[in-house]
Amino acid sequence: MPLLIRNGRVVTADSEFTGDIYCEDETITRLGLGLEAPPGTEIIDAMGKLVFPGFIDPHTHIYLPFMGTHAKDDYLTGTKAALMGGTTTIFEMICPPRGMSALEGYETWRAQAEGGACCDYAYHMGVTRFQDGTAEELREIVRNGNASFKVFLAYKGAFGIHDTELYHTLKLARELGVITAAHCENETLVAERSQELLAAGVTGPEGHYLSRPPRVEAEGVHHLCTFAELTGAAVYCVHTSCAEALQEAAAARLRGVNVSVETLIQYLLIDKTWAERPAFEGMKYVMSPPLREASNQPVLWQAVRSGLVSTVATDHAPFDFHRQKIALGKNDFTKIPNGIPAIEDRVNLLYTHGVKRGRLDLQTFVAAASTNAAKLFGLFPRKGTIAPGADADLVIYDPDHRGTITAAAQTQNLDYNAFEGWEIEGRPRVVTVRGRIVVRDGAFIGELGRGRRLKREPSHG
């Protein structure tokens, strides 16, 4: 059924107008004022509402075997939660263990998503080892429509790669024209400091921060950028949390390194004291890199405003508080499953604390939460904008909505919400994926499993 959205305040990363959007055959076909539509068209009056391009989360873990357990969401619950928050496309990190080949990992993650995803999705292909045969496997994965790699400079013995593997991964990425996302922490420093802390009797979640202070992350960014500089590869620093790491990325960019930066909604809003809460509460907020001193937050906001930080993501990693974080990590902080859930709340929190608080204008908000990810990862202008020919992924946003985040009302499949009790000022009223309404007035009404894997062409040659 065709769809006509009338009288909305249409906002993209570089423009704004009040008018109409007409969609048919899954795409936007016309923009204008007073558009006419044939009989049978569904018409939505968006007067007083903002209309954004569908939001893109460039960093999620829906399926994640990790630290002796599995993330709680699956592609049904995780992508429904994304849509409830206005995110219509996700990038999932494929993270095969070192004993698994790249192709085996790729097929394992694909099997988890097919038939279950409710929003569109793409992959960052994790390179967790590089040996004979790996290059040809990665070439095949790129030919199959994947245009980004992911490497870990942390998690020694699990996902982490050594320097020879990093060098050959980036050389191949440069040859193929794909961008490489990277978790930047020095794995040796983390491992050695963790053992020293445990030996000294530090077992609680406060030890997690002490094991990987800001300089450990900054050294990881410096390390990655040195390899990128010498191979000519395009790189993307995921979940950047602190001023020291930002300074290393900025310095590399000034040298001509093709480096882009991501931060997470949690680093903009909460600090390390949340991970120091008593009675195991701090375990809810253990993530890597860890939450930082509050003084980093204005630095990160400014970096989003200036464009040094391109994207605001989630690193959505849903592990139960009671059955996983406490059960596994109560006697050893190194065994607390890392990460928090945020896929459902990212957009509303960024709008509330960014736009409503005057930290971001609407165009920067759209760029950081949608458009820049589409451009970096080979989806623009199909995704991330409102223009004829783009997929009809749209969010009709109610800026007058007032609500409270609670675990009891969330779609994410776990027993807590990291932002429990936080007020929001705005939420999606209607969300569409390729022209079909999937969320209306806080309820999911979409078709289960309609999400599509997005094939991309390398764009960093």
Encode pLDDT of 401-458 as tens digits: 999 999 999 999 999 999 999 999 999 999 999 999 999 999 999 999 999 999 999 9
Instruction: Tell whether the model's pLDDT for residue 68 goes beyond 90.
Output: no
- What residues contact residue 402 under an 8 Å CB cut-off, 6+ apart? 423, 424, 425
E strands along 278-366, which residues? 311-313
Give the pLDDT band (50/70/90) at residue 173: very high
What value does the CA radius of gyration of the chain take, rounded to a whole number of Å? 21
- State the pLDDT at residue 417: 98
The pLDDT value given to residue 152: 96
DSSP state of 316: B
Instruction: Judge whether residue 461 has pLDDT over 90.
Output: no
Please give the Cα distance from 318 to 78 (Å, whole number): 9
pLDDT tier at 67 (50, 70, 90 boundaries)?
Answer: confident
| Cα dihedral value 441, 445, 451, 456, nearest 10 | -30
**pLDDT of res. 416:** 98
Q: What are the tokens at 156?
A: 């020694």
Residue range 316-333, pLDDT digits in tens: 999 999 999 999 999 999
Domains of the chain: 54-376 (3.20.20.140)
Mention every residue, 6+ apart, whose C-beta is less than 8 A from residue 3: 22, 23, 24, 41, 42, 43, 44, 392, 432, 435, 437
Q: Copy the structure tokens of residue 230.
A: 């010498």
Q: CB-based burial of residue 177 (10 Å sphere; 0-12 exposed, 13-18 middle, 19+ buried)?
A: middle
Those residues whose C-beta lies under 8 Å from the C-beta of residue 13, and which sit 6 or more positions away, are 363, 364, 366, 367, 370, 371, 372, 384, 385
Q: pTM to 2 decimals?
A: 0.98
Q: For the chain, what percent of residues have pLDDT higher than 70?
A: 100
Averaged confidence pLDDT in the chain = 97
pLDDT band at 156 (very low <50, low <70, confident <90, very high): confident
